[in-house]
């Protein structure tokens, strides 16, 4: 299959593994930002193949995982309104809030629907003018253009029964927060390919200069990541704090300027709380004042939210790369995909879900 088979060629993979092992003079601690990349690394055992040459640290790039608990509780409260159709991508349905998740709210009678696009939610609003249709607009820069497009189209068409509950986060401020931590051991980054498809990598050049660390923008297939790691090890061994682009079939330096322009028209930067991490300045997006009419937080007054995290879940430390899922005392025991205590066990991009799917028997034997 085009762009899949040729990026999973075992012969080329062995060559790249051999090259990285020869080239690396020490186990370089490098972070892959994106949860999609984490899943590929764990699924194909790339971290184990490279043991001793690089130490792969899993980053906070799982949008579902970092959506603040307060926002999930707010979603549950809005979804419980009698006249509301609450729409979301599938992986938000089972993320635990303080008092259950959206799937359990649906079981209790709330009209919660899974959609594949915010434009599907907009279609629901067109079809049900007597209802309020809310879309849970969650994600990094990759998902922002679609959400911006939905709000923009609603405004153009004057659709008044559509709104979005926004919880958008941005990657570069999170990298800054990680590198400002005096305990950080990260020496290089695999930058997120799809985020950079939208945003380009100019911002990462500034980060590379500021923190003297190299970045390689990489894709999501095994050979993408192996080639990206090989490029990163080259940069680390040569002491070059630069940005290079492995994912050239999708990413250019400036990104998608039309998508960025649309995002800038609809959203503005704001401080954001990251679940398990805390508040990071200028790390999120909110609707600009001219689109406030589409802000579900303003449309539905929700008060008396009292959030409560699981006392045993260590998702925060996992999202910051300080711990790995098997370090958690409840991993694959009390916390499973069927009974998640934290968001990283639910999401298709969560590190705990990756270890559960591809490593739990091995970890249990160990």
Partner 1 sequence: MVRQDEHVVEGVVLEVREEESHRVGVVSVRGARVRVWLDLIENVAPGDRILFHGRIGLALLERKRKAEP
Helices H / strands E in the chain, number of each: 16, 11
Q: Is residue 120 a contact residue for partner 1 (CB under 8 A)?
A: yes
116 lies in the site for partner 1, by CB under 8 A: yes
- Choice between 97 and 219, CB closer to partner 1: 219
142 binds partner 1 (CB under 8 A): yes
- Residue 41 CB, shortest distance to partner 1, in Å, is 12
Nearer to partner 1, 2 or 365 (CB): 2
143 scored as a contact of partner 1 (CB under 8 A): yes
Task: Count Cβ neighbours within 10 Å for each residue of 137-151 and write b for 16 or more, e otherwise.
Answer: bbbbbbbbbbbbbbb
CA 75 from chain center: how many Å? 19
What are the C-alpha distances in Å from 167 to residues 200, 252, 287, 336? 21, 26, 10, 25
Both tokens of 254, joined, read 């400036």
Using the minimum distance from each CB to partner 1, give the nearer residue, 140 or 215.
Answer: 140
Over the window 209 to 248, marking each residue x when it contacts partner 1 by CB under 8 A and - when it does not, the resulting string is ----------xxx---------------------------
CA dihedral 134, 138, 143, 145 (to 10 degrees): 50
Tell me the H-state helices in 56-192: 63-66, 69-79, 102-107, 118-127, 144-157, 171-180
CB 166 within 8 A of CB 135: no
Residue 14 or 43 with smaller CB distance to partner 1? 43
Q: Which of 12, 146, 317, 330 binds partner 1 (CB under 8 A)?
A: 146
What SS3 class is residue 179? helix
Q: What is the DSSP string of 151-166?
A: HHHHHHHT--SEEEEE
Instruction: State the binding string over 327-366 for partner 1 (x if CB under 8 A, else -).
Output: ---------------------xx-----------------
Q: How many CB atoms lie within 10 A of CB 323?
A: 16
Lookup: tokens for 77: 């409260």
Question: Cβ closer to partner 1: 236 or 354?
Answer: 354
Out of 28, 89, 162, 267, which residue is the one contacting partner 1 (CB under 8 A)?
89
**Closer of 120 and 334 to partner 1 (Cβ):** 120
* CA gap 176, 195 in Å, rounded: 16
Lay out the site mask for partner 1 across 40-79 (x = CB under 8 A, - = otherwise): x--x------------------------------------
Q: Are strands 84-88 and 111-114 parallel, antiparallel or unpaired?
A: parallel
If the CB atoms of residues 139 and 211 are measured against partner 1, the closer one turns out to be: 139
Taking residues 246 to 275 in sequence order and writing x for each that binds partner 1 by CB under 8 A, - otherwise, the string is ---xxx----x-xx--x-------------
DSSP reduced 3-state for 273: strand
Stretch 176-215 residues interacting with partner 1 (CB under 8 A): 193-194, 197-198
Which residues are at the interface with partner 1 (CB under 8 A)? 1-4, 34, 36, 39-40, 43, 89, 116-120, 139, 142-143, 145-147, 149, 193-194, 197-198, 219-221, 249-251, 256, 258-259, 262, 348-349
């Amino acid at each position: 299959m085009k762009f899949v088979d040729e990026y999973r060629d075992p012969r080329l993979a062995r060559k790249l593994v051999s090259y990285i092992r020869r080239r690396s003079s020490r186990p370089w601690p490098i972070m892959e930002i994106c949860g999609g990349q984490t899943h590929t690394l764990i699924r194909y055992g790339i971290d184990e193949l490279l043991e001793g040459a690089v130490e792969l640290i899993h980053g906070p790039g799982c949008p579902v995982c970092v959506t603040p608990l307060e926002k999930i509780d707010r979603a549950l409260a809005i979804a419980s309104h009698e006249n509301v159709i609450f729409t979301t991508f599938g992986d938000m349905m089972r993320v635990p809030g303080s008092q259950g998740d959206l799937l359990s709210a649906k079981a209790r009678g709330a009209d919660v629907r899974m959609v594949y696009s915010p434009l599907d939610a907009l279609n629901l609003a067109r079809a049900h003018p007597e209802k309020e249709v809310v879309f849970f607009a969650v994600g990094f820069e990759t998902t922002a253009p679609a959400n911006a497009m939905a709000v923009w189209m609603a405004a153009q068409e004057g659709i008044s029964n559509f709104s979005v509950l926004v919880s958008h986060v941005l990657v570069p401020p999170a990298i800054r927060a990680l590198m400002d931590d005096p305990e950080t051991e990260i020496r290089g980054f695999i930058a997120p390919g799809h985020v950079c498809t939208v945003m380009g990598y100019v911002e990462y050049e500034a980060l590379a200069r500021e923190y003297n660390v190299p970045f390689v923008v990489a894709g999501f297939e095994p050979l993408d990541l192996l080639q990206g790691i090989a490029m990163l090890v080259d940069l680390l061994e040569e002491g070059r704090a630069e940005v290079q682009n492995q994912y050239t079939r999708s990413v250019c330096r400036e990104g998608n300027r039309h998508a960025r322009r649309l995002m800038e028209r609809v959203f503005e930067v704001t401080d954001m709380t990251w679940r398990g991490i805390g508040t990071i300045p200028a790390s999120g997006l909110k609707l600009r004042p001219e689109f406030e009419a589409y802000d579900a937080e303003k449309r539905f007054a929700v008060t008396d939210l009292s959030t409560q995290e699981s006392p045993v879940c260590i998702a925060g430390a996992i999202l910051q790369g300080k711990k790995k899922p098997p370090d958690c005392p409840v991993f694959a025991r009390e916390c499973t995909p069927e009974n998640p205590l934290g968001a990283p066990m639910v999401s298709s991009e969560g590190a705990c879900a990756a270890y559960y799917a591809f490593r739990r028997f091995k970890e249990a034997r160990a």
